[in-house]
Amino acid sequence: MGPAARYAYSPARIYTPPDCLLADYLHMLDTLGIERAVLVQPSVYGTDNTAMLEAMKAAGGRLRGVAVVAEDITDAELQELDGAGVRGVRVNIVDVKDRKPGTLPLESLGKLARRIAPLGWHMEFLMHADEFPDLDETLRDFPVEIVLGHLGYLTIGKSHDDAGFQALLRLVKSGRAWVKLTGPYRITAAPLPYPDTVPFAQALLEANRERVLWGTDWPHVMLKGRMPNDGDLVNLLADWIPDAALREQVLVRNPAKLYRF
């Protein structure tokens, strides 16, 4: 994100980040030993994916992307995004005005999903799984696979027995959904090492180890509390995924399949 002087933020944004530049991001990846990564279009840019696309191009094939697109985007524009390395579209139903918890605009989402399906793309939702106790039924016949971040992004205080999380587990088990082990600080009030997130991570892995991913969630926007060190976040994998072979699957093989590296 940024520099702000070069890439204008959307007037509809709900926050304004400081500059979080590509050089800083690549330095973080190199420090942690991460060879490949995926950029997800932030809400502050709306449907203008320019900053993300230019960063992907500058990184020389190291990065893939998840874009935010308008409903009237053309097929030619979708093809162009695919050629640039985009592998999915993001839908944010959390950080929006006049939000209606527990609802999805399924008609419009389904229409867009049918258009991206021939590209092999997925649809990534920023949503709270605990608001959807019937999530597996709601999305059972969705035209493309879906991805959720932040271990399901449950409201702080919810447990892994929550009906919405259990519905998510069923969807993951069916192979229709992927979940990212990202942003643990978003689902707990506890400090590092966020011990109450372990049951969520392990339940997702038990549901379907082939549908779990990991990510840094850098640059940790809208974080309420102490900014974590990214090395400490990587170290959480030792608690979430003690088995080295399973860590390799989550860190390498699964994202290589989803993002077509």
Active-site positions read 217
Torsional sign, CA 219, 44, 68, 186: positive
Torsional sign, CA 156, 158, 159, 162: negative
d(CA 161, CA 222): 27
**Strand order, beta sheet including 177-181:** 37-40, 63-67, 86-92, 122-126, 146-148, 177-181, 212-214
In sequence order, what are the residues at sequence separation of 6 or more whose Cβ sits closer than 8 angstroms to the Cβ of residue 5? none
CA distances from 39 to 65, 74, 216, 239, 250 (A): 5, 22, 10, 25, 17
Structure tokens at 184: 């643990």
DSSP 65-133: EEE---TT--HHHHHHHHHHTEEEEEEESSSSTT--TT---HHHHHHHHHHHGGGT-EEEEE--GGG-T
